[in-house]
Structure 1
Amino acid sequence: MSDKMPGAAGDRVDQHPDIWEAYSALGKATANCGPLSDRETRPTKLALVIGAGSEGAVHSHTRRAKSDGIASQAIVRVALRAIGPLGLTRAVAAKTWIEDLGE
């Protein structure tokens, strides 16, 4: 199972597959709970993990957004829009994390 999860997260999946299965089921249920398309959900999730200050999750959701065909400029705009509610420091950090993955 952990071949899809890097590092410590993958270790936890291997050690506690029942927790991972429950967590995955919760993620699927929340993804299907409303009218947002995958394309609308991706920037929303990116914004949430920017707010949480999670570099790894910003990387992950940036990769997913790119694989869904969302333009790099649009992805960076999510970080820039964080300036108002989260502050310049958090927004600049998020933009840096997004740019870690290149074009």
Structure 2
Amino acid sequence: MADEITDIDELPSTPRDLADTHPDVWAAYTDLGRATADAGPIDGEEKRLVKLALAVAAESEGAVHSHVRRALDEGISPEALRQVAILAIPTIGFPAAMAALSWIDDLAE
């Protein structure tokens, strides 16, 4: 599965510590991620952009960074990632969308 992080050492420190301390919880979490990713026909770039949009709407800087990092690794253009934040303006508001745009630009510049 493209969303799965198989190397725990690649995780940021907080989830890496959780995975080390509670491997059963981490395993359940990754199983849930795999099951949700496989639950329908959306895949590839579309799935990554949807997941980024959800992170933007949740105003989760860590999740935005995670999905931007993965998207760039998967060859998705920075312009497409920025468009996700711009599309969010009417739904989540200008300030929240601009915060998300800045989080995207943390890694996309």
Query: Structure 1-normalised TM-score?
Result: 0.94
Runs of 4 or more above 4 Å deviation: none
Quick one: percent identity of the two aligned structures? 50
Aligned partners of 1:102, 1:76: CA distance in 2, in Å? 9
Cα distance, 1:68–1:37 mapped onto 2, change above 3 Å: same
Post-superposition offset of 1:102: 3.5
Partner of 2:50: 44
User: What are the within-5 Å matches in structure 2 for residues 8-19 of structure 1?
Assistant: 8-19=14-25
Partner of 2:27: 21
Q: CA RMSD in A?
A: 1.1
2:38 to 9, 24, 32: 32
Aligned partners of 1:45, 1:102: CA distance in 2, in Å? 16
1:100 to 86, 92, 106: 106
Contact 1:42 1:61 in 2 (8 A): yes
Contact 2:68 2:108 in 1 (8 A): no
Post-superposition offset of 1:68: 1.3
Question: Is 1:55 matched with 2:61?
Answer: yes
1:64 to 61, 66, 70: 70
Partner of 1:81: 87
- Tell me, which stretches of 5 or more residues in structure 1 are unaligned? none
Contact 2:49 2:81 in 1 (8 A): yes
- Tell me, which stretches of 5 or more residues in structure 2 are unaligned? 1-6
Contact 2:72 2:78 in 1 (8 A): yes
3-state SS, counterpart of residue 35 of structure 1:
coil
